[in-house]
Amino acid sequence: MSAIYRREMYSYFTSGIAYVVLTVFTLFSGFFFMMNCLVSDTSSMTSVFVNMFMVVLLLLPILTMRLFSEDKKQKTDQGLLTAPVNLFQIVIGKYLSAVTVFAISLIIFILDAVVISFFTQPSWSMIFSNMLGMFLLGSAMIAICCFISSLTESQVVSAVIGIAVGLLISFLDTLASAVPIDFIASSLKSISFLTPYQNFSVGIISLSSVIFFLSICVIFLFLTIRVYEKRRWS
Amino acid sequence: MVEVKDLVKRYGDKLAVNNVSFTVDSGEVLGFLGPNGAGKSTTMNIITGYLSSTSGKVTVDGCEILDNPIGAKSKIGYLPELPPLYMDMTVKRYLQFVFDLKKVTLPKEEHLTEVCRVTKITDVYDRLIKNLSKGYRQRVGLAQALIGNPPVLILDEPTVGLDPKQIIEMRNLIRGLGKKHTVILSSHVLSEVQAICDRIIVINNGKLVANSATKEISGNVAGYHKLELHIDGATSRVISALKTIDGVVRVKKVMDTVDGFGEYMVESRKDTDIRKPVFHAMAKIDCPIVMMKSAELSLEDAFLKLTKDGIPVKGGKK
């Protein structure tokens, strides 16, 4: 597992994908920080995190697009699957590498908070609650995108579907309020990513929100493993 | 060392591997021969655990591939048809990655140096794999399979796409490896298998058509000896003289050669050597033999015959 994790990290930082994702993330978070905190003259970073919700959902498919699809295309999965490691280790190793790159991008918020600290005392607990929420959101999104990437041989297809899913998730609440049938509307609301995420944004670390995101991770990583398993048997 | 029993693999309706059974003994170099699409790669993929069989059993050094995949996989070094190389890594990084992936416990630096020396890739050790030529990539692929000194090596068409010089090098390399490892090698190039392997398995349309020692396989199929002769003299005299020789089954004039001699093909029973009688017979009628060549049935002929008839050769183990 650690060998696969290290290889993926190496690949992220030599192919440049990690730099591109980190740069775009930093640009947007910097923009929102300037507009929502510095220009608006407030020390609360909550609106920065709310605005970054969509950026995370649309950016992470780029980070994960080649994670599994490229292996399939270049036939390097043959090397992994015939090595003495199990599927769980392969999938988790790759998944954790993407999560690590994403986690690195979150460091920028600490710098933002340090900037605030020059003017006033930043609310550290709020900021960490927000960062935890964003980390869990990102981890769940990465798991979904891993699954998408494992389904195809093409990075582009994987990225496009990932972004489409990201958009769908971000519109889920709007969609739910537009659906007239109560049953469907409430079902859509219950899988909303925004509701549990907003809990973190206002500083509430609720167990249900944590479990919601973690279960998304588990479900989609499990499905990714099943995709590999199925390929052996087909 | 490797035991394959009643292996069946279906892709939907298509039967890719049909009831294939064979065993490979320790230290043996086994050639896996068959036309394209015969099921060679599929069988190898099943042995290495990349694919699962529809039914049947594969045991590698006592480890069943489905019950104990990690144990079986750690005993196999596999070079697939397309080497599983990461183009964005240097050879060094890649081999280190494979070393860690296989959880090898040997001393790392020494082992990698040794593998590179054996496969002759030391001079490209620090280069990116995507910049390497096909021949070097193939060798890095082989190096990857050798890491951890697995007792069983499975090589899927290891010489495909190489130039003639590289092919010879690769063959010598594999023959050298055969001394320490059990090797299963697939190919559709017959001369290659003939040159490297102790035993040959012929597979066609997913079925095992032959399984015997390399030497036996062409001999068994033939049934008679063939002699190619160039003789100076009148055709009718030569033919009637040849026919009188004891053991000759058939005489045929093939053509007139460019330098004015007649080319004859003489078939004789397997148990008699007619070379000396032919010399004496021709000397008697004053027709000099300018060339005599034993035209052994080549593996090519044997192969075509086997895959056409689908009859198992005598002497096959199973």
CATH of the domain at B276: 3.30.70.1340
Which chain B residues are within 8 Å of A7, Cβ to Cβ? 86, 89, 97
- Chain A: residue whose CA lies nearest to B144: A79
Q: Are residues B45 and B193 in the same domain?
A: yes
B317 has pLDDT over 60: no
Using a pLDDT cut of 70, give the percent of chain B over it: 91
Domain shared by B49 and B32, yes or no: yes
Closest-CA residue in chain A for B82? A75
- Write the residue in B50, B89, B93 that is nearest to A81 by C-beta: B50
Q: Identify all chain A residues contacting B157, using CB atoms and an 8 Å cutoff.
A: none
CA distance B157 to chain A (A): 15
Query: Which has the higher per-residue pLDDT, B184 or B275?
Result: B184
Number of folded domains in chain B? 2
What are phi and psi for residue A102, nearest 5 degrees? -65, -40
Chain B residues 47-66 with a CB less than 8 Å from chain A? 48-52
Which of A 14-43 lie inside 8 A of B, CB atoms? 14-15
Q: Is pLDDT above 70 for B113? A: yes
ipTM: 0.88
Mean pLDDT, all residues of chain B: 84
Helix axes A124-151, A46-74, angle to 10 degrees: 30
| Same domain? B128 vs B270 | no
Nearest by CB to residue B82, choosing from A10, A15, A75, is: A75
Asked if residue B116 belongs to a domain, the reply is yes
> B84 to chain A: which residues are within 8 Å by CB?
74-80
Whether residues B234 and B204 fall in one domain: no
Interface probe, candidates A2, A4, A7, A70, chain B, greatest B C-beta count within 10 A: A7
- B259: confidence class by pLDDT, cuts 50, 70, 90: confident
CB contact under 8 A, B80 and A78: yes
Tell whether B196 lies on the interface with A, counting CB pairs under 8 A. Answer: no
Please give the residue range of the domain that contains residue B52. 2-220
B249 and B164 both lie in a single domain: no
Q: Is-contact B253 B263, C-beta < 8 A?
A: yes
Residues B241 and B150 in one domain: no
B36–chain A nearest CA distance, Å: 19
CA of A195, closest CA in chain B: separation in Å?
A: 41
Using the Cα atoms of residue A201, residue A204, residue A209 and residue A213 in order, give the sign of their dihedral. Answer: positive
Return d(Cα A71, Cα A75) in angstroms, integer: 6
Judgement on whether residues B241 and B96 belong to the same structural domain of the protein:
no
Residue pLDDT, tens place only, B3-38: 999 999 988 888 888 888 999 988 889 998 887 778
Q: Which of residues 69-88 of B touch A (CB under 8 A)?
A: 69-71, 73-74, 76, 78, 80, 82, 84-88
Query: Is residue B138 domain-shared with residue B214, that is, in the same domain?
Result: yes
Residue A212 pLDDT: 95
> Does residue B93 belong to the interface with chain A, where contact is any CB pair within 8 Å?
yes
- Report pLDDT digits (tens) over B54-77: 889 999 988 888 888 899 999 999
CB atoms within 10 A of CB B94: 22
pLDDT at B311: 46
Last residue within a domain, chosen from B220, B251, B283? B220
User: Would you say residue B125 has pLDDT above 80?
Assistant: yes
**Burial label, B152 (beta-carbon count in 10 A; 0-12, 13-18, 19+):** buried
Boundary residue ending a domain (B166, B201, B220): B220
Identify whether the C-beta of residue A91 lies closer than 8 Å to the C-beta of residue A27: no
CB contact under 8 A, B50 and A80: no
Cβ neighbour number for residue B215 with a 10 Å cutoff: 12
> Do A83 and B11 count as a contact with CB atoms less than 8 A apart?
no
Q: Is the residue at B307 inside a domain?
A: no
Of the candidates B48, B52, B85, the beta carbon closest to that of A82 is on B48
Tell me what the mean pLDDT of segment B107-126 comes to.
91
Asked whether the beta carbons of residue B50 and residue A74 sit closer than 8 angstroms, the reply is no
Question: Contact, A82 vs B50, CB < 8 A?
Answer: yes
> Are B228 and B213 part of one and the same domain?
no
CATH code of residue B195 = 3.40.50.300
- Provide the residue ranges of all domains of chain A, joining segments of one domain with +: 2-233
Residues in chain A with pLDDT values less than 70: none
Q: What is the pLDDT of residue B166?
A: 84
Say if residue B313's pLDDT is above 70. Answer: no
For testing contact with chain B, the best of A17, A82, A232, A234 (most B CBs within 10 A): A82
Query: B173-221 pLDDT, tens per residue?
Result: 888 888 889 999 998 777 788 788 888 888 888 888 888 887 776 555 5
Distance from CA of B150 to the nearest CA of A (A): 11
Q: Degrees (nearest 5) of the Cα angle B176, B182, B186?
A: 85
In a domain, B181, yes or no: yes
Closest chain A residue by Cα to residue B130: A74
What's the pLDDT score for residue B215?
A: 72
| Domain shared by B84 and B30, yes or no | yes
> Chain B partners of A9 at a C-beta cutoff of 8 Å?
none
The answer to whether the Cβ–Cβ distance between A80 and B84 falls below 8 Å is yes
Q: Is residue B314 part of a domain?
A: no
Chain center to CA of B60:
21
Structure tokens at B301: 């002929």
Find the CB nearest A83 among B71, B85, B101: B101
- Cβ neighbours of residue B14 closer than 8 Å, sequence gap 6 or more: none
Task: Determine contact: B98 vs chain A, CB below 8 A.
Answer: yes
Distance from CA of B211 to the nearest CA of A (A): 26
Q: What is the predicted pLDDT for the residue at B221?
A: 56
Asked whether residue B312 is assigned to any structural domain, the reply reads no
CB B85 within 8 A of CB B136: no
What integer pLDDT is reported at residue B47 of this predicted model?
92
Please check whether residues B47 and B110 belong to one and the same domain.
Answer: yes
**For A7, which residue in chain B has the nearest alpha carbon?**
B97
Given this model, what pLDDT does residue B219 score? 59
Question: Residue B29 domain-assigned?
Answer: yes
**Would B40 be classed as within a structural domain?**
yes
Q: Six-digit token pair at A37? A: 């905190």
Say which of B11, B74, B97 has its CB closest to residue A84.
B74
- pLDDT value of residue B228: 85
Instruction: Name, in order, each residue with C-beta under 8 angstroms of B106's C-beta and a sequence gap of 6 or more.
Output: B148, B149
Sorted by sequence, the CB contacts under 8 Å of residue B87 that are 6+ apart come out as A74, B128, B129, B130
The pLDDT value recorded for residue B256 is 83
Determine, yes or no, domain membership for B184: yes
Evaluated on CA atoms A172, A177, A183, A184, the torsion sign reads negative
Query: Average pLDDT for residues B290-302, to the nearest whole number?
Result: 72
B110: number of Cβ within 10 Å? 9
Q: How far is B97 from chain A (nearest CA, A)?
A: 6
Which chain A residue shows the shortest CA-CA distance from B65?
A82
Q: Which of A7, A15, A76 minimises the CB distance to B85?
A: A76
Using DSSP's 3-state secondary structure scheme, residue B29 falls into: strand
Q: Look up tokens 């017979």; give the residue.
A: B281
Contact flag A6-B85 (C-beta cutoff 8 Å): no
Residues B57 and B189 in one domain: yes
Task: Find, among B252, B260, B259, the residue nearest to B228 by Cα.
Answer: B252
